[in-house]
Amino acid sequence: MNVQDLAGNQLQTEGPVFTVDATAPESPVILVAYYGQAGSLMPLFAFSPAAIVDPNPLLVIRAEFDTLVEVFDAEGGFLGIAQAQDQGPGLVVHTFAFAESLDPGTYLFEVFSSDLAGNRSVSPAPFQLAIL
């Protein structure tokens, strides 16, 4: 880098090198965890579209390491931030529990992940969940 002052003096220096992270994280992947029967100890997992009886499902979301995962409804309403649980090589499993039981009906959810540089992923196709 060349620097010149108002008197015309020049200085050539090795300036700091910056790397700008402009790459969005991979799109998160959603599964739903639920219990098939009351009192069951082992959760079952389903991909979209899922139809379950449990009104208290848990969204299980695989996302890149060091990302923040946000959950939205189909209208773009913010539902909350998924909590990081288990960190593996290059990825993290996040979970999202709904604040209240879901009434019977069909729901669509979207998730986005953001990295430390503020880059935001593209949402995968909405996750469809039917509570029977």
Domains located in the chain, CATH noted: 24-131 (2.60.40.650)
Please give the model's pTM, rounded to 2 decimal places.
0.77
Calpha distance 97→12 (Å, rounded)? 57
Per-residue three-class SS string for 35-50: CCCCCCCCCEEECCCE
Radius of gyration (Cα) for the chain, nearest Å? 22
Backbone angles phi, psi at 119, to 5 degrees: -75, 135
The three-class DSSP label of residue 102 is coil
Print pLDDT tens along the chain (132 aa).
Answer: 677 778 888 877 776 777 888 899 999 988 887 776 655 656 778 888 888 888 988 888 989 888 999 999 989 999 999 988 766 676 788 889 899 999 999 999 999 999 999 999 998 899 999 999
